[in-house]
Amino acid sequence: MLLDSGHKATLLEGEELAQQQKDFHGYKEGLLRLNPGRWLYTARFTKFANKIYNFKWKTGDVVVMTFPKCGTTWTQEIIWTMRNNVNFDHPLAMEPAMDRAPFLDCDMFLPEEIAPDSPFMAECPSFQRLCRGADPKDGVYLQIAAAIPEPRTIKTHLPFSLFHPSLLDTAKVVYVVRNPKDVFFSYLHHSRLLVDHGFVGSMKDFMKYFINGDLVYGAYDEHVKEAWERRDHPNLHLLFYEDLKANTLKELRKLSDFIGTELTDDELKKIAEYTSFDQMKARDNDKLKDFYNHDIWKKDGGFFRKGQKWWLEEKPSRGRHC
Ligand code: A3P
């Protein structure tokens, strides 16, 4: 199947699919590969790919684009707060970040049949509020993203090549990069924690998938390369997780200048505190808790795990992980 982006989609089959489904119990509905790029997604991605490629961007949109586990949620929260909640009194501030700054490509992880009265939809306040009468099967998060009031902040884990080239000429993109070793540990935890990935293999197995670009969302270096190639575009801001952690105020100032919020140093300082790891962990409104593996949650923690460098990780015992 040829997509509007020019990518050819091919379903994974045979031994390759069998191996993935042995290690990832969540990929029951299959996987597909997109070329060029060797991008890997769930089989349902083709249902939404052209709608995402042709998404109607507006001037004023800010897209938070990342490979998974690079600090997306942190950046979403900072940008949404800068644009909507400077006084920390917004009535929707406690809604999950992925509803306020919708996760555009999330629909490929949702079940094929989402009944409008299912428990998932009951916990999707923004769909209820903004997409009245819409059919969830046409994309829950896709439709939320189209319907949220301006200024819109939208999250994606897809790379540039899966978007229409006009994206950067219309919207602003904040692309977050993180040390690959930290991305590795964070994605390993995430893939064990979330049952829609359901990773049951060893750390060594996961390392092979990560290095070969065989994890859902493909190869981290390819993803970053596509952003790096566009680094001189005035509508692209590259943000490094480590810089944000080491010098938060300086990075918040650059972000504010880029998205044009014109905040004072005092306001930025308060936003830095409000979006610190400890405060976000205390508010913990990760809506994916319903999809957590409770054993992993108890043993290794939830979404707000560590937010620190890989060498501060506990040394894994060889017996347990490898
Ligand atoms: P760890 O798993 O290393 O702890 P994403 O939002 O892209 O999925 O990234 C998740 C990672 O960002 C997790 O890393 C999480 O702990 C970390 N994170 C989330 N909020 C953060 C914050 N306010 N400050 C620092 N790190 C944060």
**Nearest Cα residue to atom 14 of ligand 1:** 307
pLDDT of 312 reads 64
What is the average pLDDT score of the chain?
92
Which residues are registered as beta bridge partners of 65?
A: 156, 175
Parent domain of 293: 8-321
3-state SS assignment for residue 116: coil
Share of the chain above pLDDT 90, in %: 77
Q: H or E stretch including 8?
A: strand 8-11
Look up residue 188 and give its amino acid. Answer: L
- Residue pair 155/102 in contact by the 8 Å Cβ criterion: yes
Its pTM stands at 0.94
CATH of the domain at 73: 3.40.50.300
On whether residue 1 sits in a domain, the answer given is no
- For residue 299, the model assigns a pLDDT of 87
| Both tokens assigned to 76 | 């979403």
Pocket of ligand 1 (CB under 6 A): 66, 68-74, 182, 186, 189, 245, 275-277, 280, 304-307
pLDDT tier at 305 (50, 70, 90 boundaries)?
A: confident
Count the Cβ atoms, other than its own, within 10 Å of residue 16. Answer: 12
35: in domain:
yes
Query: Which ligand 1 atom lies nearest to the CA of residue 68?
Result: 7
- Asked whether residue 132 is domain-assigned, the answer is yes
Q: Write the residue with the smallest CA distance to atom 12 of ligand 1.
A: 71
Q: 248-259 vs 72-84: helix axis angle to the nearest 10?
A: 60
For residue 3, being part of any structural domain is answered with: no
Residues labelled as active-site residues: 157
The span from the CA of 299 to the CA of 184, in Å, is 18
Q: Name the closest-CA residue to atom 2, ligand 1.
A: 186
Query: Which atom from ligand 1 is nearest to the alpha carbon of 186?
Result: 2
Domains: count for the chain: 1
Distance, CA of 249 to chain centre: 23
Residue 39 or 125, more confident: 39
Q: Is residue 197 part of a domain?
A: yes
